[in-house]
Amino acid sequence: MKHIIRLSLAIGLMATSISCKKSLLELESQGAYSYETYFNNSDALNQAAIATYATLLHNGLWSREYYFIFDLAGYDAKRTNNMQGDLAQLAMYTFGTNQPQIADLWKGLYRMIFRANIVIDRAEAWSPDDAGDQSKVRQYVAEVKFLRAYSYLNIAMLWGDAPLITDYQSMINDNYIGRSPVADIWTLVENDLKDAQNDLPVTYSESDLGRVTRGAATALLGKAYLYQKKWGQAQAELLKLTQAPYSYGLDPSYDHLFSSGNQISPENIFQVMNGEWTDWGIGNQYYVFGGQETWGGKATHSDRAQEYGFNDWNNVYVTTAAVNRFTYPNPAGAGNYTDPRAKSTFYGNAASGGATVYCEQCDGGSKPFPFNAADEQGDYKWKKYQYYNEVETYGGPASSINAQVIRYADVLLMLAETYIQEDNTGSVPLGYINDVRARAGAVAYTTLGNKTSAMEILNRERHLELCGEQSRYFDLIRWGIARATINSERAAEPGDGSQPFQDKHLLFPIPDIEKNYNPTVAAAVNNDWN
Number of residues that this document lists for the chain = 530
**pLDDT surpasses 90 at 49:** yes
Residue 63 near residue 108, CB atoms below 8 Å: no
Count of beta carbons in the 10 Å neighbourhood of residue 118:
25
pLDDT digits (tens, 9 = 90+) for 422-442: 999 999 999 999 999 999 999
Contacts of residue 484, defined as CB under 8 A and 6 or more positions apart, other chains included, come to none
CA 125 – CA 478 distance, rounded (Å): 40
pLDDT digits (tens, 9 = 90+) for 172-230: 888 899 999 999 999 999 999 999 999 999 999 988 999 999 999 999 999 999 999 99
DSSP string covering 313-367: T--EEEPHHHHHHTEEE-TTSSSEEE-TTHHHHEE--GGGT-B-EE-TTSTT--E
**pLDDT surpasses 90 at 384:** yes
Count of beta carbons in the 10 Å neighbourhood of residue 369:
23
pLDDT digits (tens, 9 = 90+) for 284-314: 999 999 999 999 988 999 999 999 999 999 9
Residue 74 near residue 462, CB atoms below 8 Å: no
pLDDT digits (tens, 9 = 90+) for 251-292: 999 999 999 999 999 999 999 999 887 766 678 999 999 999
pLDDT digits (tens, 9 = 90+) for 320-355: 999 999 999 999 988 999 999 999 999 999 999 999
481: helix, strand or coil: coil
CA 56 – CA 9 distance, rounded (Å): 12
Identity of the amino acid at 184: D
State whether the Cα torsion 28-31-33-35 is positive or negative: positive
CA atoms within 13 A on the CB side of 442: 31
Question: Mean pLDDT across the stretch 111-132?
Answer: 93
Question: Residue 14: what pLDDT?
Answer: 40
pTM tops 0.85? yes
Question: Mean pLDDT across the stretch 156-166?
Answer: 97
